[in-house]
Structure 1
Amino acid sequence: MATPGHWRSIALISDIHLHEEDGHTHGLWKTWMSGGASSAADALFILGDLFEVWIGDDCLASAKNDFLRSCIESIRECATQIPVYFMAGNRDFLLGPDAAKAANMTWLPDPAIVTLGDQRIVLTHGDALCTDDVPYQAFRRQVRSSQWQSDFLAKPLTERAAIARGLREASKAQQAKQYAEKKSWADVNDEAALDWLEQANATTLIHGHTHHANDHPLPGGRMRVVLSDWDANASPPRAQVLKVMNSGAMERQDIPAKVRPA
């Protein structure tokens, strides 16, 4: 993707994990989308896990999903000001063309190469690069297959929601175990990241997924940049936007969040 020549910067976010039970994070995100996003840059790129779970675009037609429709409307309103691009994550990989059209956002493949000024940037959610986590990669291949998705989307919404809850609980338990044991294989493999950069003839790779915002220098002057997740309930709250300028400079911008009383 070659960006228009007049673009001076792009904004990137990921791992907002919007869900109805977390009104604080949703409210912060919604407020930023209504004005902050359009003033931050010339375009917004969402690199996956915008939603905690997405069980199919037909969920928007359910009378019980006012929350999701409200989120889609927030994106649509933002998209009237600046272009919004969306890349699926491991939580919302079933977000499809109907939802993207309703939100007026452009769907991006994973990975995607973006040219901004003189720089080529590889964008990815990040989970595909966690190659040392063999069980997860097997699971990822399964749920990303057209057969699995077809079978899953054929089930009633209530059944899909129950399956999704089970997968979320299993994922949380596995993450807790990984953090407790300090498993490095839960992170992106730098050799795999470097291979992607070399194939793309790019110097910078930007991703989310791991929730560990940081800059990781790689051989050859290359860089792996990790986006922050959003959690307005954390102490201190986490809500960060990465702004990338056409000059090559990058700036992490923290979105102010009111600290909730304990």
Structure 2
Amino acid sequence: MTQHIHFISDLHLTQDRPENTQRFLAYLESLSSDVSALYILGDLFDVWVGDDDPTPPNEAVKTHLAKVTSKGVKVYFLAGNRDFLVGKKFFADTQVVSLEDEYIIDLFGTSTLLMHGDLLCSDDVEYQKFRDLTHTPEWQQSILSKPLQERLAMAQHYRQESHLNKANKSMEIMDVNTSTVVNYVKKHQVKRLIHGHTHRPDIHSHIAEGEEIERFVLAEWDHSGSVLDWSEDGYQLIELS
């Protein structure tokens, strides 16, 4: 049986978009036995304020992920800029494996770097400073110690600010910086990079130390779902209506 590995990102699951949740749950239920691993590269949730938040669709997603992992599918999660507070209880309940921000796999013989993608957008200096702050243990501990309703209100405030900030920034600033991409590729000595975040699905080619490097940008799940399917025969894009 041919082994398949799936990559997805930027589903932004929220109770405001129930059709997206249903699409994801149906996708999980449809996974065939030849899919050995699923890599979720960030922003599975539009917001995550702590593992104690029962706001839909959190519990339904956890239940379905637990069913998938119980069947032997390895599910990996690399946090995005919206759900970096996903914590130990989530991983214990689902048996999903937490990955670091920069994670390398051997993808059918090719060393491949997995990232969410926000670290690649180095031209957005304001965001990078905010990211540095929010990823400190002190900041996270301070936030998670607050009452749930206060955290939810803060998340709503941050979301509104984020939308306003995006409206005042050029698309170039919010996209990846090519030099930063090459630096990460050289740092990890890989031949391929897969990431999401920018919502600009495409396949790019870069030159690092005289070698051609592939960069796959995963699509946002908006009006449809998108899965990058990889096997020993190569890759294909699966669109979920």
| TM-score normalized with structure 2 length | 0.93
| TM-score normalized with structure 1 length | 0.86
Would you say the 8 A contact 2:3–2:34 is kept in 1? no
Aligned to 1:74: 64
For structure 2, the 5+ residue unaligned runs are none
Aligned to 1:199: 187
The worse-fitting range, judged by mean Cα deviation, of 41-50 and 190-199 is 190-199
SS at match of 2:52: helix
The worse-fitting range, judged by mean Cα deviation, of 128-137 and 73-82 is 73-82
CA distance in 2, matches of 1:155, 1:195: 38
* Partner deviation per Cα, 1:12-36 (whole Å, 9 max, x = no partner): 000000011211111111111111x
SS at match of 1:94: coil
SS at match of 1:223: strand
Matched, 1:250 2:235: yes
Would you say the 8 A contact 2:51–2:87 is kept in 1? yes
* Partner deviation per Cα, 1:44-66 (whole Å, 9 max, x = no partner): 00000000100011224xxxx35
Would you say the 8 A contact 1:214–1:227 is kept in 2? yes
Aligned to 1:31: 26
Which amino acid counterpart does residue 3 of structure 2 have in structure 1? R
Aligned to 1:260: none
After superposition, the CA RMSD in angstroms is: 1.6
With over 3 angstroms needed to count, the CA separation of the structure-2 counterparts of 1:150 and 1:40, relative to structure 1, is: same
- How far did 1:245 drift? 2.2
The worse-fitting range, judged by mean Cα deviation, of 112-121 and 45-54 is 112-121
Aligned sequence identity (%): 34
Which amino acid counterpart does residue 236 of structure 2 have in structure 1? E
Which amino acid counterpart does residue 145 of structure 2 have in structure 1? A
Question: Between Structure 1 and Structure 2, how many residues are aligned?
Answer: 237
CA distance in 2, matches of 1:58, 1:86: 18
Aligned to 1:17: 12
- How far did 1:78 drift? 1.6
